[in-house]
Amino acid sequence: MFASVVLLVVAVLLLLLLSQTKRTKNFPPGPRPHPIIGNLLQLSLENPLADLARLAKRYGNVYSIYIGPRPAIVLNGLQALKEALVDKGSDFSGRPHDLLVNHAVQFKAPGIVLSDFNPGWREHRRFGLMTLRHFGMGKQSMEKIILGQICSVMKLLEQSIGNTFYPNLLFHNAASNIICQILFARQFNYEDEFTKFFVSLFHDTSKIFQGFWGTIYDFVPIVRNLPLPFQKAMKMFRGARDRHLELLAETKKTRVPDKPRHFMDCYLDELDKRGDDGSSFSEDQLCANVLDIHYAGTDTTANTLLAAFLYLMNYPDIQERCQQEIDKVLDGKDQASFEDRFQMPYVQAVIHEIQRMANTVPLAVFHRTIKDTKLMGYSIPRGTIVIPNLSSVLNEEGQWKSPHEFNPENFLNDQGEFVKQDAFLPFSLGPRVCLGESLARMELFLITVTLLRKFRFIWPEDAGEPDYTPVYGVTQTPKPYCMNVQLRKTVPGQMLS
């Protein structure tokens, strides 16, 4: 009798599990999921991008997988992404819940990046954009901050002349300091514990969230309380919150209301104005927003710059052609300006091609449908996880002259003029497009141009063949590499460090 009851219970549980992963009518097709783990076995735990591309060839540009028992759709190709994230942007602009990234980052407030699509998110995104612009994002005042930080980079490069060195942390330190001047009006020494902690946080957790252990956490919820490596991400983000709370306490002691020095001051002024109005503004939300901006403003830019100099060293003819254009346009000028990009079509093409090949955020940040909707003829229920496969667009056949090769001609017309392509989506698109896109574009241009103007970057003879395959994560990172640096001839009027 007991054995029969056990068998009945097991059968009912199996039926429940199977029903959880059954596709609804007119839902996008995809591989058959397994109970409990969904489509975990169909994806590489180290890097699923090749598997996602393989599934697109079999099932089409909109197909479904299961993350454990939860349905998700994968969007591939420019047409599918534009229809979902632009034409039906509000339907597809929610954020998933109950993933490792949510549990690690969202303590008492969701921040801007992971907040759901609601009035609170709109308030904070609007406030974030206005405040970043107030402190110079997209303006000449921001150029001065970036160029000042480049001086620190150039001093370190000058000290490395004649030696082979690894630039792994150089650009992370610089990008972090640029964003810290907006957030806290402070610069940190590259050897400070604060800088080392946050650079390590951004690098390590990016690999955990969409790496082996992050995938296990998301697909197999029963393991979440075990002492496995994903607990490191939780611990590191608790440490990040503690450090930001310390800066907040310092800020509150020294601030003068209505005379903001930085982002934190502006937010505290806004809190004073609102009082207890029941809005989503709070000190917890401030810390969450600061972490979002610090993370997003550091890791993506730094990894793109690492990719930039990997390619420039190994395509010396392209590096030299950039330098010729830079010398011509900046002749007699002390330093570069972001406006100079309009006279540098080839440099612009190279930087955009580097972004395309670097593919720094290959799956963007996952979305979630906030209502029942349609996409390319399919029915997509409310609450479905949406994975925008930006990789599929950045190398989509028919969108590029050379979709799988590094070729700046992808962004040049027959007259040698720079042309931005519709399929260039490194910052995603739609209502949830990257908040700091204009800052990142300015950083990439000014840092690349200023360094190429003064230095020649050389792939070491004993370094072997370059490996362009990035290390997968929420943000992809070039594999560690070393470089040699030489001073170029002094250009008249050139800014010196």
What would the pLDDT profile of 27-82 be if each residue is shown by its tens digit?
A: 999 999 999 999 999 999 889 999 999 999 999 999 999 999 999 999 999 999 99
Residue 21 has pLDDT above 70, yes or no: no
Higher pLDDT, 245 or 22: 245
In a domain, 4, yes or no: no
Alpha-carbon gap, residue 104 to 238, rounded angstroms: 8
Using CA atoms, how far residue 181 sits from 59, 115, 136, 162, in Å, is 47, 25, 11, 32
Cα-only R_g, the chain: 24
Task: Determine the average pLDDT of the residues in 437-464.
Answer: 95
Q: What's the domain range around 294? A: 91-359+395-487
Residues forming a β-bridge with 486 = 456
Alpha-carbon gap, residue 226 to 198, rounded angstroms: 25
Amino acid at 20: Q
Tokens matching residue 300: 């993506």
Residue 16 has pLDDT above 70, yes or no: no
In a domain, 120, yes or no: yes
In a domain, 64, yes or no: no
In a domain, 66, yes or no: no
In the chain, pLDDT over 90 holds for what percent of residues? 81
Tokens matching residue 166: 């690894």
Exposed, middle or buried by CB within 10 Å (0-12, 13-18, 19+), for 116?
Answer: middle
State phi, psi for 492 to the nearest 5 degrees: -55, 130
Higher pLDDT, 19 or 204: 204
Residue 108 has pLDDT above 80, yes or no: no
State phi, psi for 124 to the nearest 5 degrees: -75, -35
Alpha-carbon gap, residue 349 to 231, rounded angstroms: 42
Identify which of 212, 100, 102 has the alpha carbon closest to the alpha carbon of residue 472. 212
Using CA atoms, how far residue 238 sits from 48, 105, 183, 291, 440, in Å, is 28, 8, 19, 11, 27
Identify which of 339, 312, 345, 326 has the alpha carbon closest to the alpha carbon of residue 491. 326
Using CA atoms, how far residue 416 sits from 312, 341, 352, 399, in Å, is 20, 14, 15, 18
Q: What is the pLDDT of residues 398-431, one digit of tens each?
A: 999 999 999 999 999 999 999 999 999 999 999 9
- Tally of structural domains, the chain: 1
- Side-chain-side CA neighbours of 58 within 13 Å: the count stands at 13
Residue 488 has pLDDT above 60, yes or no: yes
- Compute the mean pLDDT over every residue in the chain, rounded to the nearest whole number: 91
In a domain, 83, yes or no: no
Residue 8 confidence (pLDDT) = 37
Out of 20-24, 49-53, 486-490, give the one with best mean pLDDT.
Answer: 49-53
Using CA atoms, how far residue 101 sits from 60, 230, 260, 268, 360, in Å, is 28, 10, 32, 27, 18
The residue whose two tokens read 């009035």 is: 119
Residue 85 has pLDDT above 90, yes or no: yes
In a domain, 296, yes or no: yes
What one-character DSSP code corresponds to residue 406? -
Residue 490 confidence (pLDDT) = 55
State phi, psi for 387 to the nearest 5 degrees: -110, 105
Tokens matching residue 121: 């998110």
- Kindly report each contact of residues 403-411 with a partner whose C-beta sits within 8 Å and lies 24 or more positions away, as own/partner: 406/311, 406/315, 406/353, 406/357, 406/468, 407/353, 408/318, 408/346, 408/349, 408/350, 408/352, 408/353, 409/349, 410/349, 410/352, 410/353, 410/356, 411/348, 411/349, 411/352, 411/353
Q: How would you label 322-350 residue by residue, b for 16+ Cβ within 10 Å and e otherwise?
A: bbebbbebbeeeebbebebbeebbbbbbb
The residue whose two tokens read 């609007």 is: 126
Residue 13 confidence (pLDDT) = 42
Residue 43: other Cβ atoms inside 10 A:
21
Using CA atoms, how far residue 417 sits from 119, 220, 348, 421, 445, in Å, is 42, 50, 10, 12, 17
Task: Determine the average pLDDT of the residues in 188-195.
Answer: 90
Residue 221 has pLDDT above 50, yes or no: yes
Residue 4 has pLDDT above 60, yes or no: no
DSSP 454-488: HEEEE--GGG-S---PPBPSSS-BPPP--BEEEEP
Residue 94 confidence (pLDDT) = 95
In a domain, 236, yes or no: yes
CATH number of the structural domain spanning residue 115: 1.10.630.10
Residue 495 has pLDDT above 70, yes or no: no
Q: What is the pLDDT of residues 204-214, one digit of tens each?
A: 999 999 889 99
The residue whose two tokens read 């690999």 is: 207
Residue 364 confidence (pLDDT) = 94
In a domain, 374, yes or no: no
Q: What is the pLDDT of residues 362-396, one digit of tens each?
A: 999 999 999 999 999 999 999 999 999 999 999 99
Higher pLDDT, 15 or 415: 415
Residue 5 has pLDDT above 70, yes or no: no
Residue 187 confidence (pLDDT) = 87
